[in-house]
Structure 1
Amino acid sequence: MTSTLEQLDTDRTTRVASEEPWRTIVWDDPVNLMTYVSYVFRSYFGYPREEAERLMLKVHTEGRAVVATGNREAMERHVEAMHGYGLQATVSRGEP
Structure 2
Amino acid sequence: MTQPPSIPPKPPEGPGADDAGSVVMERRAQRVQPPKMYQVVMLNDDYTPMEFVIAVLQELFGKDRETATQIMLKIHLDGRGVCGVYPRDIAATKVDQVHQAAAKAGHPLQATLEPVE
Q: What TM bracket, shorter-length normalisation? A: 0.7 to 0.9
Determine which structure has the larger helix proportion and give its number: 1
In 2, distance between residues paired with 1:31 and 1:85? 15
Counterpart position of 1:36: 52
Q: Structure 2 length as normaliser, TM-score?
A: 0.63
**Identity across the alignment (%):** 30
Counterpart position of 2:110: 88
- The root-mean-square deviation of aligned C-alpha atoms, in Å, is 1.4
Q: Structure 1 length as normaliser, TM-score?
A: 0.75
Counterpart position of 2:84: 68
5+ long unaligned stretches in structure 1: 1-14
5+ long unaligned stretches in structure 2: 1-32, 103-108
Deviation at 1:29, TM superposition (A): 0.8
One-letter code aligned to 2:62: G
Deviation at 1:20, TM superposition (A): 3.6
Deviation at 1:35, TM superposition (A): 1.1
In 1, distance between residues paired with 2:113 and 2:60? 17
CA contact (8 A) 2:36 2:88 kept: no
Q: Describe the superposition over 1:10-56 as per-residue Cα deviations: whole angstroms up to 9, x where unpaired.
A: xxxxx5xx644211110001111111101111122221100000000
Q: Using CA pairs below 8 Å that are at least 6 residues apart, which structure has the higher relative contact order?
A: 1
Deviation at 1:74, TM superposition (A): 0.3
Which portions of structure 1, spanning 4 or more consecutive aligned residues, are displaced by more than 6 angstroms? Answer: none
SS of the equivalent of 1:85 reads helix
